[in-house]
Structure formats: C-alpha cells, structure tokens
A and B are shown apart, each in its own frame.
Chain A
C-alpha cells in the first residue's frame, strides 16, 4: 500500500546540462540527483544525510518543484505533483514549505517580520481580512517562541537563532503538512542549535507535521529523524529506520561516515576507531562507473567497478545499495 504514503518520491532525477543550452547528451550533464526514491509517512521526520555535493539539497528542492525534476514522479497524498500546474500547483504549494540553511540570506532585509510572515497568507488565504491575518501572524510567532511585538521589527535586529525561528514561522503560517528543512541549524552556534532543534521537534509533534530534514550532521539527524536516508553522489546508498541504521550500518560509506564523527568525550574518543576513507568525493560531473563509491571503498570487488547496485531490503525496512552487503542475504 505504498500509495498511502503522504509523500512518495519515485525515481527522481535532476540533471543540470553543462555548457550550451539544449546540449543534454552532447555537452554532458551533472547528475545531481540520479534516481532517488523514498516515502514519507504523515508525522515522520525523514533525515536525508550526505556530504556536500551529494545532491541532498537538489533532491529537496526538486521534490517541492522549486526546480523542475528532469525525470521521476512525486506523489503528494496520492496526487501527482510533477504533473500539476497553475492553480493545482498553488494548492500543493500551500501544503508544502521549506526552511533554508542560512537565515541571514533567506529573509528579505527590507521586509518587516510581519510582512515576511504575512506573505504566505496573502498568497494562499486571500479571503482573510487583514485583522485575521494579523492574528494568525501573532499566533504563529508565539508558536516559534517569539513575541507579537517582534512583528514590527526587521531581520537585522535578530540573532541567527531568532531569524531561523522567523523562517520557521513563515513556513508554518500556511498550515503546511510537509516542510523540507535544508540544513536549518548548520549556520547556528551550538547552544542555539539545540534550541531550534528542540523547537522543531515540539512543533512537529504538536502539528503532526512531516519533515524532510536535510543535514550533514549525523548526530543531529539521529536525535531528530526516523527514518534516515544516506545519499552519495546523487543516489541513496542506504535507507532505514534510524535504530537499525545507527546500530548496524550496512553500506560501507555509512559506516565510514559514522566512524568519522568525533565524540565529545576524551576517554571514549581515544578508543574510537576511524575508518578513514581515502580520497575525495568524486565530481558528479564524471561519476565512476559501477558503484559510485567503489574508488573509496575497502570492500570493493571487481563487480563493483561495473555493476551499479540497486537498493535491496536486507533487514526489515533497511535498504542498502551495495553489491557486497546487499548480496550477502542472497548468499547466506
């Protein structure tokens, strides 16, 4: 009953052509997102982790159709978002919102907090009178831990954490069901990070929201998200319920990622074994043939250089795209 998922992404691709226009094929292309499929249920927080350039941000934006996907389908509550246009698309837009990484560039410095948060209401609830809109803005500010009197102020008067609260309020005011959060706490100081993370957790619970939480921070994702998807070079390497992924990572890339995070405890830290990956993430411009991870993988076999692994369900709900780890089930 996959169609019952609130969000169902099927084989989503986004290629950016390089060089001359219309040269897809001839001039080559960057395969930023290369066949991503995932499901988000109502009330779930899906963590999308990966290093820079792995396509997590592009995937988030293509899901919302902030950029047009090259291929693939996005079903929202069973309806095809990728085929929608005009008024239909606008209806979807109200139900799905986004929060960006940098609250210093995502808020218009010339707009007051009131105008920033009211704008979605103007777009989607044009029937409301201005008094009702003002009430809604005030109420939403309260939800994110700000005060009604902040309405008349401008973004530069706020700290980073408060700005991110304003960005959250802007996303929440249209009463969406899904919010894509693209590295929402990465630009914040650690003590402020915790405030925003806790706020998101609280709001998600109170409003039964679904979130796609894009992050490079595995510890934050563990705290907040379930399930978790790990991306590498435009594809999902592993997707699984949180517990299974963190306790028993199957993809060698996930293992290396988890082992690379330093633990803030000197005693444990001395014992930590890092599985050091050699080399850099290859450019998505010419991603290696076969498994994209094979040049850095310690488990690679000859097959990995030629065959591109597909996601396989190895443990209940735990999918991995790896010829070695995925194939083990068949071999055993």
Chain B
C-alpha cells in the first residue's frame, strides 16, 4: 500500500541571531489519495514550516532542512533540482495561504495571475490562457468573472481574494492542495463559504488536501484524519472521531477543553496552564511536561516516541491509558 505523499523524519531549524530554533523535529506524515488531513496546533508549533518544507519554499538561510524525505510519485522532492521542483509546484502540489492580500501580486490583475499558471505549466497561448483563467474564476463562484479577471487584488474583498487564490492553486488540477489557515483572516460567514468551496472542489477534482489550521471546528467539519502538533512535533494523530472523542494525549485534551462551544451547555472553560515554550528553550523530556496535568517523573527525563495506542492512532505520551 503506497501513499500519495509521505514525509519521513523531517527536521527543520532556523539559524537566527538569538540562536538555533528547532521548528520541526522528526515529523512523519502520510497523505492518501483523495483524503483531507487536518494539521492542528497553536502558533509556532511547526505546522506551517512542515507545509512549506514540503513545497520547498523555506527561505534558506536562515532556515535549514536538517533531515527528511518527502516521497511523492516515486521521487524524493528534497532531492529534486530547483527546475524540476518548479514543475511540481502549482502543477502537482499547490498551496494557498492565510492572507490572500499578501500572497497575491498587487501589480498584476487576478486574470494575469491565473493565466500565468497555464502559460508556465502548459505553455498555453496568452489569449487562451486568459479564457481559461476566466473559466477558473467562474469555477470558484466569483460573480461576473470576465470583469473580475481584470481586477487587481486590492479591488476585491477578502473572501473574493481567497477565491482567486484557490483558482490559481487549482488551475492545473493538482493532486495535492496544501491549505495553510485558508480562512483565518476571513469573517465566519465568508469562512463558511470558502470551506464549502474547498470541500466541493476537492470532491470534483479528487485531490488530497492538507488542511492546516488552529480552528478545531474547521478540522472537525472537513478532515478525515488529524495530526496534532506541539512545539515542532506531532504529538497525536488518528482518525478525526478518535482525536475528538477518544484522544490519548493530554495536550489534545487540553486544546479541546479550552475552546468555548456553542453546542454544549456551558461548563467552565478549562485552560491549559503556563505558556507555549519557546522553541530554543524547550523543557527536558516531553515538550509538554511543564504544562501537563498528568506529568510523571519519567516525562521530565525522557521524551516519548510516537507509539500506536489504537487503530490508526498514535500518541507521543508515556501514559498507558487515558486518566480522564
């Protein structure tokens, strides 16, 4: 059984004035054909760096990929020359970002930016590429696409810009879409529109999606499998129902209990004590040990490995069983 994408033992560090920061450590991930994988975690947990490493768009220096393979279609993306990688980006694997205002080029019209994808990857003639661009805008449900194609990004609303981003990313019908906090900058009603659009296009194109977010609700609504990251590591991974209802890792539990919910009668909001540790100043042993309610001596001495705790369910925790 082979996976569509396989990340093995990825470690990424940043070499800055204040020292070396281990942003991602020993991350293993797989993405299967047609599935939506959610990656959740708080800021600086390494979720975006993981995604950018797969795309090889980490600025180096200061970044450095210390180890790791990214296996895709029988090749290791880490080994590809830059020209070959450019063929992969946008054609096979695409990415959309949180802030569509800063990821679109303000000096070109939306139509130009979508046409570029066809002209670069498919060598499509200019006029035809433009027509296809308009078609793509229609596909992402932008009203009046002929007119909108001639608009510059600043003339569009946030939701429209994100639709345009999605049109660029999906122009070549990639096999994988990496969506990095795609709705974080948007209002909830617009967020609902964009999530629906992503789910719908995912079905139509049959692509796989890696959905990176801090919003547990979004993960619950779209993902089939979820990886939870903390301090550069995957701390738990499993099917979405398991992660939400039968999680094993105390951090996952803490995350879920710290969000107020509309659907439940109100209990007290349970906070996770302490703060996320700085990545250049991690506690000894388990990285969560200084905030964990179930910490044991062992946790402070030695970092646990990811180990199976159920069907397709792994956890990086020394606990034998759940204590709650």
Partners in one complex: yes
A contact residues vs B (CB 8 Å cutoff): 51-52, 159, 161-162, 189-195, 197-198, 216, 218-220, 222-223, 246, 256-270, 272, 274, 276-277, 280-281
In the complex, are the beta carbons of A262 and B263 less than 8 A apart? no
21 contacts between A and B (CB under 8 A): A51-B187, A51-B190, A189-B276, A190-B216, A190-B259, A191-B276, A193-B258, A193-B259, A195-B271, A195-B272, A197-B260, A198-B271, A218-B262, A223-B266, A263-B220, A264-B256, A264-B261, A265-B220, A266-B220, A270-B221, A277-B192
**A274 partner residues in chain B, CB cutoff 8 A:** 192, 196
In the complex, are the beta carbons of A191 and B218 less than 8 A apart? no
Give the residue name and chain of the B residue nearest to A158 (CB): B275
In the complex, are the beta carbons of A262 and B42 less than 8 A apart? no
Q: Give chain B interface residues in 234-292, CB to chain A under 8 Å.
A: 240-241, 244-245, 254-256, 258-263, 266, 268-273, 275-276
A61 and B193 alpha carbons, distance in the complex (Å): 31
Q: A189-B42, A198-B269 are in contact. Are A263 and B262 (CB under 8 A)?
A: yes
Task: Give the residue among A161, A223, A276 with the most B Cβ atoms within 10 A.
Answer: A223
Interface string of B189-221 (1 = CB under 8 A from A): 111110110000000000000000011111111
Q: Give chain B interface residues in 141-193, CB to chain A under 8 Å.
A: 157, 159-160, 187-193
A216 and B189 alpha carbons, distance in the complex (Å): 11
**B275 partner residues in chain A, CB cutoff 8 A:** 159, 161-162, 192
B contact residues vs A (CB 8 Å cutoff): 42-43, 157, 159-160, 187-193, 195-196, 214-221, 240-241, 244-245, 254-256, 258-263, 266, 268-273, 275-276
Q: A191-B276, A262-B221, A269-B221 are in contact. Are A198 and B261 (CB under 8 A)?
A: no
List the 8 closest A-B pairs by CB distance, nearest first.
A262-B217, A264-B216, A194-B258, A51-B187, A194-B271, A191-B272, A223-B260, A189-B42
In the complex, are the beta carbons of A272 and B42 less than 8 A apart? no
In the complex, are the beta carbons of B188 and A272 less than 8 A apart? no
**A277 partner residues in chain B, CB cutoff 8 A:** 189, 192-193
The residue that A267 contacts in the complex, of B241, B258, B259, B273, with Cβ under 8 A, is: B241
In the complex, are the beta carbons of A191 and B262 less than 8 A apart? no
Q: A219-B261, A264-B256, A274-B192 are in contact. Are A194 and B272 (CB under 8 A)?
A: yes
Taking the closest CB of chain B, its distance from the CB of A288, in whole angstroms, is 15
In the complex, are the beta carbons of A262 and B160 less than 8 A apart? no
**A257 partner residues in chain B, CB cutoff 8 A:** 188-189
Taking the closest CB of chain B, its distance from the CB of A295, in whole angstroms, is 12
A280 and B241 alpha carbons, distance in the complex (Å): 33
In the complex, are the beta carbons of B269 and A276 less than 8 A apart? no
Give the residue name and chain of the B residue nearest to A267 (CB): B241
In the complex, are the beta carbons of A268 and B271 less than 8 A apart? no
Task: Give the residue among A159, A265, A267, A280 with the most B Cβ atoms within 10 A.
Answer: A265
**A222 partner residues in chain B, CB cutoff 8 A:** 260, 262, 266
A26 and B275 alpha carbons, distance in the complex (Å): 53
Give the residue name and chain of the A residue nearest to B156 (CB): A280
In the complex, are the beta carbons of A194 and B244 less than 8 A apart? no
**B43 partner residues in chain A, CB cutoff 8 A:** 189
In the complex, are the beta carbons of A223 and B189 less than 8 A apart? no
Q: A189-B42, A191-B42, A219-B259 are in contact. Are A260 and B188 (CB under 8 A)?
A: yes
**B245 partner residues in chain A, CB cutoff 8 A:** 265-267
Give the residue name and chain of the A residue nearest to B261 (CB): A219
A274 and B218 alpha carbons, distance in the complex (Å): 13
Since A51-B188, A263-B262 are in contact, a sample of 7 more A-B pairs with Cβ atoms closer than 8 Å, ordered by chain A residue number, is: A190-B214, A194-B260, A194-B272, A222-B262, A266-B240, A267-B241, A276-B196
In the complex, are the beta carbons of A276 and B276 less than 8 A apart? no
Taking the closest CB of chain A, its distance from the CB of B298, in whole angstroms, is 23
A228 and B108 alpha carbons, distance in the complex (Å): 43
**B258 partner residues in chain A, CB cutoff 8 A:** 190-191, 193-194
A46 and B272 alpha carbons, distance in the complex (Å): 26
In the complex, are the beta carbons of A269 and B220 less than 8 A apart? yes
**B216 partner residues in chain A, CB cutoff 8 A:** 190, 264
